[in-house]
Each structure stands twice: as structure tokens, then as C-alpha cells.
A and B are shown apart, each in its own frame.
Chain A
Amino acid sequence: MIDFIDVTKEYPNGTVALRDVNLHIAPREFVFVVGASGAGKSTFLKLLLHEELPTEGTVRVGRFDLNQLTRRQIPLYRRQLGVVFQDFRLIADMDVYDNIAFAMRVVGAKEKAIKERVNYLLQLVGLSLKIHCRPSELSGGEQQRVAIARALANMPDLIIADEPTGNIDPRMSQELLELFVRLNDAGTTVVMVTHEHNLVRQYNKRIIILESGAVAADGGLRQAPPPQPANNAWSPPGLPRPPWEDEMALPRFEAV
């Protein structure tokens, strides 16, 4: 599904954001991408979204060689992706229905098909009753579910989620993760960039750790950990942080 082959990205100011990255993400995989600030996660996403091109190496997503995309092909490529942003990116003056339908109208879908698909997606994300609400009338979690529904509108093979739980409460974060897992179980490849190690630890999925522009670790959990509180904020005040909330206590990964 995704191939990074010897990918290096150096910005004009001399910053090397990614260095000799080699990755293969298979279809139907669920991958968490984690890393500290400046580790190269944003550049990784920019390359996937074709916002930037690698200085060296090749990026392939599905049948697209991103180095070779023409300007005309860029929108076509992006229609194969479902992108979920941390800040939801909903259009404020459109209601829930239109925000989701928008992604289908872009590709010239017929209104009948749009109606059927949007209603199905709203059921999937549990927002059928909010169909005519504006984004400002929804909670953060609900807005993110609308964004996920929009990302799914064109039945993408790949969902790229950038910190999708960054702006929502812990309980809702858990629910959203469950939603992504269900989508993955249904056959969609999911690449999720996140800071929330607590969430990552609860799922036995592949984790790619980026560090200073290189892949520091790439692997899966040896075994799923027991259920944990969803977020640090749920820890009782005054108690020491439990070991699973410490980044250093992450389970071992297979070194790359």
C-alpha cells in the first residue's frame, strides 16, 4: 500500500527532516506513527499528502508513484485517501450532511448516491440525529466523527489520521480509536500519527517510531496490554504516574 524507499527530505534551509527512510505498509494494516516534536512525523504526512516531494528516494502509495505525479493527477490521488486532521477541518457554514457530501460532490457523485452514502456514514459514526447541525453545535468528538465520515465518503483504501484524538476528551478518544479499528477490520489501511501513547498501548498494532528523521523502531506489541485508563488526566491526582504512561516504558519493538 505504502512504500518509502530510501527517502530523504531536506528543506531549503538545510534541515534534514527525514533521512534514508525505508518503510513498507501493507494493505489492511493499522499503523501508529509516533515520535517527539521534530522527529519527522509532519514531513512523513506531507510526503503522503503530496505536499512535499522527497529530496531523494521514492514514495509510492497504491498505484501512484508520488515522485511522478503530474499537477492534474494530484487531486485524483488525494481522492484515494481519507484524511482526518487534528482540528477537524469542517466547513463552518455547512451542516453535517453537506460537510460529508462535499467530499463526494468534489468527485462528481450523483445526489442520489450522495444521499445514500452520507446517511450510511452518519449511522456508522452514530450521528444520524445530528444531520442538520452546524459544526459549532457539535462537541469535539462529534466534529471528529463527522470528519471521519467525510474521510470515508469516497471509500478510500487508505485513511491518514493526524492526531485525530488531539482535541477531544479521553472517553471520546477511545471511541474514535474503536471506530478506526472497525474500519481497519473492514479492510481499510489506517496510518495514524499520534502523541497519545496510552491509546497506542491498548491496541496490538504496528508502531513506527520516528526519531531525528529516521525510523528508530518499527514493530508490534508483543502482546496486548491490559486495559488502561485512556489518558493521564484520568489518573488520580497526587499518585505517581503509572508505568504505562511513561514513554520509556513502552513495550519492546523490533529494532530496525
Chain B
Amino acid sequence: MKSSGRMFLTRMGLRSVHNNRTMSIASVLVLVSCLMLIGLVTLLAVNFDLVFSQFSSRNVVMAYLVPGLEREQIDGLQRRIDALPTVGGSEFVSSEEAFRRVMARNERDFPLLQDVDPAFMPDGFEVSPLSQSQLESTVEQIRQLDPAITSVRHFQGVAAQLAALKQAVTVLGAAVIGILLLVSIFIISSTVQTTMYSRQQEIKVMKSVGAAPAFIRWPFLVEGLVLGLLGAAAALLVVFLVYLGLEKALGPLLETLLGGFSLAPFGEQLHLLLPGFFAVGILTGGGGSMVSITRYLKEKVYEKSEFEN
């Protein structure tokens, strides 16, 4: 196909987006709806992953000490803890430091704490096990290490539950995204077919004047791609606005409930959403058009029945 012909056909495709604007808007809206759901499910999965990661990184063993220990005693204890084979490292957290951390997370919610003496919180060690699988044995060893260690706390149960939940969310999210993708392709293909049904005449004229199949396909491909890309861009904007709304509405609540957790920033997910959305747009718009036009290319130029004349 010559470049002048390609330009003409491209213009023809662009013009038909405008001329068939009702169907164009319908196609874009369908695509936006599907992509919006796909986007939100993806963001849910991303955030869940983030919660899990943050939680895992915080899943250290806290060993609390009796009050009033001397600095040498504390250092000695720390050396003994660090010497344990399953321990990766430890950090002494004084009662003042512990209080400061709590305040930093909850200052807004507990203004009364500002006047409390930090000494009510015990000194302790924040011990990181070499691996999460060795958490239980590390806890046991620390418990039996010294009577100066009054209690040992960790979140093994919660971590296991979160891991299971994460896996479930990943599988469910992938399944939902897969189903929505199929639904999008089906709906877009149907919408494009409806568009083409109304343009059978045009296709027949093209065939009757000797247009090659590639020539006939081109404007429909352009139209499908434009609709797909418009849908992807619109969906990205909608997902951004919805996510922004959710962030504002649920952010403080999640921060409180999940101990300082905040939703993943939208901008950081663009590397995932931008190519994903545009790939889906191209696949459903361009692919849907090609599937539909192939069917209509088989239409006869001369469709009168034998008994009409």
C-alpha cells in the first residue's frame, strides 16, 4: 500500500471515529468500565502486597527487660542475644525511644499521651531473626536466655495468616483480571461488530471497486486502535481519580488500623498500569476490529437473492 493511500485510510479511520460517535463513545465507555475494574483489582493486590511486605519487615521479636538494668548488663545481654545462631541482629530500644516511636505513629489519635512519662514503657531489644521461618526457635531461645528478659513478643500467627491471605488475593486477583480481560475483549468485539454492521455498505463498496483486504482493514484497524487507546487513557484517569478519592477517604483509617500503613502512591504504580492499560486497549481495540472485519470481509458484494430479479 502506498503512503498516500495509507494516509487517506488513516484519515478515513479517524473520521469514522467522529462520524460514528455514538458507537465510539459506547466502545470507549465499555473499555473504561472493564479497565477500571482491572485497575482497581490490580491496585488492591499491590496494596495488599505492600501491607504484607511492611508487616514482614516489621515482624521482629521484641524482648522486654525488667526495669532498672545497668548499661553494662544491657550490653552483655545484647551480646548474648546476637550470639544466638538464628539471630541476624538486634537493637536496643530504650523506653524513651519506644515511646517516641509510638507517639510518632499515633500522635494525632492520642494527644493525651504527650503528657505521659515515657518510663511507663519497658526497655527492650528489637531482634531480627535470620529468617522468618526461624522465628519460633529464636523466640524460644531468647525466652530461656536470662531472667532479666520478662517477656518476648512476635506476630508469627498473624504473619502466617497474612501470607495465606496474600496468596489468596494474588490468585483471586489474577483470576478476576483474566475474566475481566476476556469480558472486555468480548464486549469490545461485539461493539465493533455492531459498528461494522452499520458500515457493511462501505465495506461492500470497497470490495466492489477492487480494494485489497489490507486496504479495507486499515481504517477499521485505525478506528479500533484509536478507541482502544482513548479507552485506556480515560480509564487511567478514572482509576487515578477513584484511587485519589479512596486514599483521601480511607487513608487515615488504614493508617490507624494497620499501624502507620499508607496506600501505595499512584505514581509508583504507573509503570505497571500505563503499559498494562495501553496493551489492553490495543489488544481489545485493534484485535477486536480485526476479528470483526475478517468476518465482514467474507460478505458478498452483490447480496441480492436469486429470486429478487
- Considering the chains assembled together, what is the distance between the CA atoms of A163 and B128 in angstroms? 90
Task: Answer whether A42 and B208 are a contact pair too, CB < 8 Å, given A105-B5, A108-B5, A110-B4.
Answer: no
Q: Chain A residues with Cβ under 8 A from B1's Cβ?
A: 108
B15, B208, B209, B306: most-surrounded residue (chain A CB, <10 A) = B209
Q: Which residues of A contact B (CB under 8 A)?
A: 11, 15, 17, 37-38, 40-43, 45-46, 49, 51, 72, 75-81, 83, 85, 89-93, 102-103, 105-108, 110-111, 150, 153-154, 162-163, 193, 195
Q: Chain B residues with Cβ under 8 A from A77's Cβ?
A: 210
Q: Chain A residues with Cβ under 8 A from B15's Cβ?
A: 93
Structural contact, B210 and A79, CB atoms closer than 8 A: yes
Pair count A-B, CB < 8 A: 90
B144 within 8 A of A: no
- Considering the chains assembled together, what is the distance between the CA atoms of A38 and B8 in angstroms? 41
- Considering the chains assembled together, what is the distance between the CA atoms of A193 and B309 in angstroms? 10
B151 within 8 A of A: no
Q: A91-B205, A105-B5 are in contact. List 15 more A-B contacts (CB 8 A).
A: A17-B306, A37-B308, A38-B306, A41-B309, A42-B304, A42-B305, A46-B302, A77-B210, A78-B207, A85-B302, A90-B205, A106-B206, A106-B210, A153-B209, A154-B209
Structural contact, B304 and A78, CB atoms closer than 8 A: no
- Considering the chains assembled together, what is the distance between the CA atoms of A158 and B8 in angstroms? 27
- Considering the chains assembled together, what is the distance between the CA atoms of A105 and B212 in angstroms? 11
Interface residue count on the B side (C-beta < 8 Å) = 30
Structural contact, B307 and A38, CB atoms closer than 8 A: yes
- Considering the chains assembled together, what is the distance between the CA atoms of A38 and B306 in angstroms? 6
B211 within 8 A of A: yes
B55 within 8 A of A: no
Q: Chain A residues with Cβ under 8 A from B150's Cβ?
A: none
- Considering the chains assembled together, what is the distance between the CA atoms of A40 and B309 in angstroms? 8
B107 within 8 A of A: no
Structural contact, A78 and B309, CB atoms closer than 8 A: no
